[in-house]
């Protein structure tokens, strides 16, 4: 291994280390902010001013990160990334998320080119392409997991809300009780709503922020009911109880549909990943046989593109068939 390759690998390793400690620093800063907000809820305004005057060990973002942030913060994709990170509850800035795409792409390229595929440039590029989308896949899965967890907990959350209202609590006090007693991620989301209201934000706006972070039709129904009750009055406990029963029935029906469509979903996964895994297996046991497909730019590359396109179309069609909207 020559010196230039060692320098390149060392630079990539150093970049990954810097990114790791940067993420830890940002998380520490965000945790410190959450702690301040919690302390502010339990104290008066003067004590909050005293907290703000305390020395903060967290450093501001570096000039490079600030420059990247300012350059892309108004772009549509940056706003979309910011919303996705908030929904996934991943404490990263848009600049760090963009840097993570680049680092992941370079890391996957080096891994595929030097380790997995024996310095085949085409396979290295394919690996880099996969690495570029790896952070998005992770964030998408984190969003889906968090949303599913919130929706599964929503009926129990509404039950706790109804009991608190019938005990004489106000709407905000009931939400404070939820922020203390509910499991994650419901606890964190309602805690943010209570903190925003404590800082002077209107309850309707705070609930809208919650709906922006948790894109759920069931939650939209709850927020609409709360806003209407605040304007025209009525028994909010009875309304939330009816909504809770409706959501429970929807969750039950979704579970039954998921069981009935399990075979179709597995079929979609099979037709999507089996050709790719088979191609990688054949390339591993006989690189020369599969190498012609990757090295021939005029015949092999178009065939690969057509194959991948057909795989994507087939997977999308199957997923569309088994995705039954309730």
Taking residues 121-135, what's their average pLDDT?
81
> Do 215 and 62 meet the contact criterion of CB atoms below 8 Å apart?
no
Same domain? For 132 and 13 the reply is yes
Taking residues 168-183, what's their average pLDDT?
86
Q: Which long-range contacts (CB under 8 A, 24 or more apart) does 87-91 make?
A: 87/143, 87/146, 87/147, 87/213, 87/214, 87/215, 88/139, 88/142, 88/143, 88/146, 89/142, 89/146, 89/185, 89/188, 90/139, 90/142, 91/23, 91/26, 91/27, 91/30
Return the pLDDT at 130. Answer: 83
Q: What is the CATH number of the domain that holds 222?
A: 1.20.81
Same domain? For 247 and 268 the reply is no
Return the pLDDT at 28. Answer: 47
| Domain termination residue (choose one: 217, 239, 260) | 260
Is position 103 within any domain? yes
Taking residues 103-120, what's their average pLDDT?
79
Least confident span in 8-17, 77-86, 144-153, 302-311: 8-17
Residue 126 has pLDDT above 80, yes or no: no
CA distance 31 to 117: 42
Contact residues for 221 (Cβ-Cβ < 8 A; gap 6+): 243, 246, 247
Same domain? For 18 and 100 the reply is yes
| Domain termination residue (choose one: 219, 240, 260) | 260
Return the pLDDT at 44. Answer: 38
> Do 314 and 271 meet the contact criterion of CB atoms below 8 Å apart?
yes
Domains: count for the chain = 3
Identify the DSSP state of 199.
Answer: T
Is position 242 within any domain? yes
Residue 35: give the domain boundaries. Answer: 3-45+63-136
Same domain? For 173 and 208 the reply is yes
């Amino acid at each position: 291994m020559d010196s230039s390759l060692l320098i390149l690998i060392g630079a990539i390793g150093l970049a990954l280390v810097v990114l790791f400690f940067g993420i830890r620093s940002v998380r520490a800063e965000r945790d410190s902010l959450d702690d301040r907000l919690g302390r502010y809820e339990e104290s008066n305004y003067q004590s909050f001013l005293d907290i703000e005057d305390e020395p903060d060990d967290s450093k501001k973002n570096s000039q490079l990160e600030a420059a990247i942030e300012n350059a892309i913060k108004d772009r549509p994709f940056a706003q979309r990334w910011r919303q996705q990170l908030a929904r996934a509850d991943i404490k990263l800035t848009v600049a760090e998320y963009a840097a993570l795409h680049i680092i992941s792409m370079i890391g996957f390229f080096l891994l595929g080119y030097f380790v997995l595929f024996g310095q085949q440039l085409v396979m290295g590029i394919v690996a880099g392409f996969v690495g570029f989308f790896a952070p998005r896949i992770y964030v998408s899965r984190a969003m889906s997991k968090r949303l599913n967890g919130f929706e599964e907990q929503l009926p129990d959350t509404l039950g706790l809300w109804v009991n608190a209202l019938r005990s004489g609590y106000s709407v905000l006090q009931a939400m404070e009780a939820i922020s203390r007693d509910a499991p994650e991620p419901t606890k964190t989301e309602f805690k943010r709503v209570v903190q925003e209201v404590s800082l002077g934000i209107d309850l309707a706006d705070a609930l809208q922020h919650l709906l922006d972070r948790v894109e759920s039709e069931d939650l939209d129904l709850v927020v609409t009911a709360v806003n209407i009750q605040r304007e025209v009055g009525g028994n909010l406990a009875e309304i939330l109880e009816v909504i809770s029963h409706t959501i429970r029935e929807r969750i039950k029906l979704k579970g039954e549909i998921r069981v009935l469509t399990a075979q179709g979903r597995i079929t979609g996964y099979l037709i999507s990943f089996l050709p790719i895994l088979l191609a990688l297996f054949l390339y591993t046991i006989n690189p020369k046989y599969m190498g012609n497909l990757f090295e021939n730019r005029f015949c092999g590359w178009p065939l690969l593109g057509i194959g991948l396109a057909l795989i994507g179309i087939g997977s999308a069609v199957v997923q569309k068939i088994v995705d039954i909207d309730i």
